[in-house]
């Protein structure tokens, strides 16, 4: 469905470029993308996405020729920061050299082993993991950005693909990833499908032929977590969403 929509948009741009004879400035054609989405048991689609990106490069320092990186939030190295609101933004390119750093307009990041029940006990009924047992969210915001760097180096980088597993998407078209190019222009926005089973997981991933993604804005539903904030499925007004695994193409130096 998402693939068809992207192709439809591409077609519109192509028509505009062909018929606009008076204007020498041609509208750039958006790059073709492969988009994968899943809801419910997302395992097969996540594996398909991993295979499309290539072999796992783990925490190997330095830019690798091919392959992918993945953050599952579960490693022992993160334990000192778990269930706190100060998870280091650059943990996954310093302690673990995976080429990912995060920013948020909120007040921090939280890597959580209790389905965020320490923030609000009701969350234990809302959120589940894809990879046992840690899941992640920004603090004080429902948005964060993932930027890419060459693994183990503070060198800006770009990636050819990005995929993410969400927990508890209840409202359509509100949990999204927006991809930005190196020049700051928007490449695309893609929505995750709503949850469809008791586990409540959703996946969206996108891959381009070239490494063109410099930044990914992750928008989690319509509200941020809080002691007195309940999910829309539990008497609240906001759709609260957190996430687990992020999978992305090998970060390549953008210079
Ligand atoms: Ca996990
Ligand atoms: Ca929700």
User: What is the predicted pLDDT for the residue at 53?
Assistant: 98
CA distances from 16 to 6, 25, 131, 185, 255 (A): 16, 11, 45, 20, 32
User: What is the predicted pLDDT for the residue at 199?
Assistant: 97
Ligand 1 center to residue 69 CA distance, Å? 14
User: What is the predicted pLDDT for the residue at 171?
Assistant: 98
Ligand 1 center to residue 75 CA distance, Å? 9
DSSP 8-state assignment for residue 16: H
Ligand 1 center to residue 65 CA distance, Å? 27
Task: Give this prediction's pTM.
Answer: 0.90
Note whether 74 and 133 are within 8 A (CB): yes
- Secondary structure in 3-state letters for 93-118: HCCCCCCEEEECCCCEEEEECCCCCC
Tell me the average confidence (pLDDT) per consecutive run of 10 residues in the chain, 255 residues long.
Answer: 42 38 58 95 98 98 98 97 98 98 98 98 97 98 98 98 98 98 97 98 97 98 98 98 99 89
Ligand 2 center to residue 200 CA distance, Å? 9
User: What is the predicted pLDDT for the residue at 31?
Assistant: 83
Ligand 2 center to residue 196 CA distance, Å? 12
* Ligand sitting nearest the alpha carbon of 136: 1
* Ligand sitting nearest the alpha carbon of 245: 1
User: Strands 186-191 and 108-112: what pairing?
Assistant: unpaired
Ligand 2 center to residue 127 CA distance, Å? 8
User: What is the predicted pLDDT for the residue at 88?
Assistant: 98
């Amino acid at each position: 469905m998402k693939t068809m929509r992207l192709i439809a948009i591409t077609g519109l741009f192509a028509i505009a470029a062909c018929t606009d004879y008076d204007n020498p400035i041609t509208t750039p054609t958006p790059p073709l993308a492969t988009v994968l989405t899943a809801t419910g048991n997302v395992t097969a689609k996540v594996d398909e996405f991993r295979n499309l990106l290539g072999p796992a490069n783990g925490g190997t320092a330095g830019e690798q020729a091919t392959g992918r990186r993945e953050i599952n939030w579960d490693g022992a190295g993160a334990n000192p920061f778990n269930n706190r609101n100060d998870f280091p933004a650059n943990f996954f390119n310093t302690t673990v050299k995976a080429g990912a750093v995060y920013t948020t307009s909120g007040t921090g990041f939280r890597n959580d082993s209790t389905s965020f029940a320490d923030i609000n006990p009701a969350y234990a009924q809302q959120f589940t993991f894809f990879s046992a047992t840690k899941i992640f969210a920004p603090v004080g915001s429902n948005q964060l950005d993932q930027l890419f760097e060459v693994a183990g180096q503070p060198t800006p980088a770009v990636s050819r693909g990005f995929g993410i597993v969400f927990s508890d998407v209840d409202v359509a078209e509100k949990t999204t990833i927006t991809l930005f190019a190196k020049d700051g222009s928007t490449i695309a926005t893609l929505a995750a499908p709503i949850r469809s089973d008791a586990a409540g997981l959703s996946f969206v991933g996108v891959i381009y032929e070239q490494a063109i993604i410099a930044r990914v804005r992750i928008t989690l539903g319509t509200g941020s977590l809080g002691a007195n904030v309940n999910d829309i499925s539990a008497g609240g007004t906001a759709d609260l969403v957190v996430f687990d695994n992020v999978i992305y193409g090998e970060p390549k130096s953008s210079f």
